[in-house]
Amino acid sequence: MTDWTETYRPTTLSEVRGNNKARDKLEEWAKSWDDHRKSVIVHGSPGVGKTSAAHALASDMGWPVMELNASDSRGADVIEKIAGEAAKSGTLTAGEAGRRLVILDEADNFHGNADYGGSREVTRVVKDANQPIVLVANEFYDMSNSLRNACETIEFRDVSKRSIVPVLRDICRREGVEFEEEALEKIAESTSGDLRSAVNDLQAVAEEAERLTVEDVVTSERDTTEGIFDFLDELIKEKDAEGALRASYDVDETPDKLLNWIEDNVPKDYEGAELADAYGFLSNADRWLGRVRATQDYSYWRYATDNMTAGVAASRRGDKGGWTRYGPPSYWSKLGRTKGTRNTRDSIAERIAEREGTSVATVRREILPFLSAMTHHCNNRDLTVRMAAAYDLDESEVSFVTGSGKDTNKVESIVEDAAELKAEAAVEHSGNAFFEAERSSADSEGPAVDGKSEEESDESDEQQALTATGADDGSGTESASDDAAETDEPDDDQSGLSDFF
């Protein structure tokens, strides 16, 4: 059966649902392009219709599309050629006729591709473009400062349940699928803002059932999550490295989703040095996933899987028994999906980045998840207080990182204690209260680094350049620092977490 997300891809802007303002802005941008000649960044969570909107726009405007993405091997000179061609074609064919829309997909990933000469080159091309360019990105802040500043910006928000349900209803009618209204609502709810996932889920359930009922939706949700709980039990408590890897073959999840499940659940049973080791492996796994994204070379998936399964199992020390309430990656991995949480996350990340002298992207990908795991539900109160003190976190920020309720006495008292600690520290000396303390306590527990990161530092230049993907968030100033992240230089940021142990 064909993929419904393809069949029902919007062909005109008016079919793009749920982001009316963004849609109008995009249209306005295109219509006035001749006057401003700026490129535009369209950013937002996956599956909210950014790429579809760009294509729909082109079709509405009657512009042919030239699409490139970060893994394309064609390089910046190709974009330059396309972007610079307007002058030529403009003379051949009068006015708008020679116009085409350049869509740069995964624009937050270009710095990972050496063929493009890094984001600096892309920025230059984007600035001088003779054709309208739409840059599509998930993570606005993963693009360099100068690239962001050179462009107009349009944010696509998560699609509301209210906008998702009619899309699903429409598809059902066109496919001749009978449905309970409530079933559609259930699907819309569980995909929280991601319209593509909603359409995919709808298709998956509809293929199994004559008539779509709420029970069908609930059962299908349960089926896809059931296997994973058994796997987590095996990985975290029972199997050795090889067994854990084998067990993962039966799990029906992509490695990136699996990583979310593992990183959310491993702190429920691991602690101290074993947790630190496990996070070292998870962080390696995440880097391999980053390489997959940057290169579209899915053969790297297996290294990600090795790290997150065998690595995590091998980090276990001592027997684990009993029953643990594992849960879906509801908290941390969903952060950043809504604008509110994205703003909180980014504001904390910027502060930590400044304090730790690293990039916002590194903080977001590596340090915040780590802090979140180590202070989960404020279980380690002392550590949570030190963290709040070190980074000036208020109640809502502590609750964001730890996952605890904002108004709980626990969080309030932590923030009070943090204020006291800060006052004391101001007397002695300020500085990095949190990591200083962490580092010394981890030192005393023996080396926690898994050895893999050392191996990684022996990698080829090319791989180091790829590894640098996560380092260039552009939050710093342009020039020297950007260059370092975009060329072959290994970047200090990359050492990420392991440095703190």
Which residues of the chain form contacts with ligand ATP (CB under 6 A)?
Answer: 5, 8-10, 16-19, 46-52, 136, 138, 159, 167, 195-196, 199
Q: Which is nearer to ligand ATP, 48 or 388 (CB)?
A: 48
Please state the closest distance from residue 138 (CB atom) to ligand ATP, in A: 5
Check whether 39 is labelled as a binding-site residue: no
Q: Which is nearer to ligand ATP, 167 or 388 (CB)?
A: 167
Please state the closest distance from residue 2 (CB atom) to ligand ATP, in A: 12
Check whether 47 is labelled as a binding-site residue: yes
Check whether 272 is labelled as a binding-site residue: no
Check whether 49 is labelled as a binding-site residue: yes
Q: Which is nearer to ligand ATP, 135 or 183 (CB)?
A: 135
Q: Which is nearer to ligand ATP, 167 or 244 (CB)?
A: 167
Angle subtended by helix axes 255-265 and 272-295, to nearest 10:
160
Is residue 425 exposed (0-12), middle (13-18) or buried (19+ Cβ within 10 Å)?
Answer: middle
Check whether 48 is labelled as a binding-site residue: yes
Check whether 398 is labelled as a binding-site residue: no
Please state the closest distance from residue 134 (CB atom) to ligand ATP, in A: 11
Please state the closest distance from residue 194 (CB atom) to ligand ATP, in A: 8
Helix and strand numbers (H, E) in the chain are 26, 7
Q: What is the spatial distance between Cα 400 and Cα 293, in angstroms, rounded to a whole number?
A: 27
Nearest by Cα to 199 from 12, 15, 27: 15
- Closest residue to ligand ATP using C-beta atoms: 49
**Is residue 175 within 8 Å of residue 184, measured between CB atoms?**
no
DSSP per-residue letters across 138-183: S-GGGS-HHHHHHEEEEEEPPPPHHHHHHHHHHHHHHHT-EE-HHH
Residue 464: C-alpha distances to residues 70, 118, 494 (Å): 17, 13, 9
Q: What is the spatial distance between Cα 309 and Cα 246, in angstroms, rounded to a whole number?
A: 9
Q: Which is nearer to ligand ATP, 63 or 391 (CB)?
A: 63
Please state the closest distance from residue 7 (CB atom) to ligand ATP, in A: 8
Please state the closest distance from residue 160 (CB atom) to ligand ATP, in A: 10
Give the Cβ contact number of residue 261 at 10 Å. Answer: 23
Q: What is the spatial distance between Cα 484 and Cα 465, in angstroms, rounded to a whole number?
A: 10
Chain centroid, CA 46 distance in Å: 9
Check whether 44 is labelled as a binding-site residue: yes
Please state the closest distance from residue 172 (CB atom) to ligand ATP, in A: 14
Nearest by Cα to 348 from 389, 392, 380: 392
Q: Which is nearer to ligand ATP, 103 or 465 (CB)?
A: 103
Check whether 267 is labelled as a binding-site residue: no
Please state the closest distance from residue 475 (CB atom) to ligand ATP, in A: 22
**Is residue 290 within 8 Å of residue 255, measured between CB atoms?**
no
Q: Which is nearer to ligand ATP, 9 or 127 (CB)?
A: 9
Nearest by Cα to 142 from 464, 365, 472: 472
Please state the closest distance from residue 50 (CB atom) to ligand ATP, in A: 4
Rg (CA), the chain: 24
Q: Which is nearer to ligand ATP, 201 or 486 (CB)?
A: 201
Nearest by Cα to 482 from 129, 97, 148, 56: 148
Q: Which is nearer to ligand ATP, 19 or 284 (CB)?
A: 19
Q: What is the spatial distance between Cα 411 and Cα 20, in angstroms, rounded to a whole number?
A: 39
H helix runs in 41-117, sequence order: 50-61, 76-92
Q: What is the spatial distance between Cα 273 and Cα 317, in angstroms, rounded to a whole number?
A: 9
Phi, psi of 458 (to 5 degrees): -90, 0
Please state the closest distance from residue 255 (CB atom) to ligand ATP, in A: 16
**Is residue 361 within 8 Å of residue 471, measured between CB atoms?**
yes
Q: Which is nearer to ligand ATP, 5 or 307 (CB)?
A: 5
Q: What is the spatial distance between Cα 279 and Cα 347, in angstroms, rounded to a whole number?
A: 24
DSSP state of 129: -
Nearest by Cα to 47 from 153, 257, 200: 200
Please state the closest distance from residue 48 (CB atom) to ligand ATP, in A: 4
Q: Which is nearer to ligand ATP, 3 or 416 (CB)?
A: 3
CB burial readout 218-235, b (16+ within 10 A) else e: eebbeeeeeebbebbbbb
Residue ranges of the binding site: 44-51
Binding annotation for ATP: 44-51
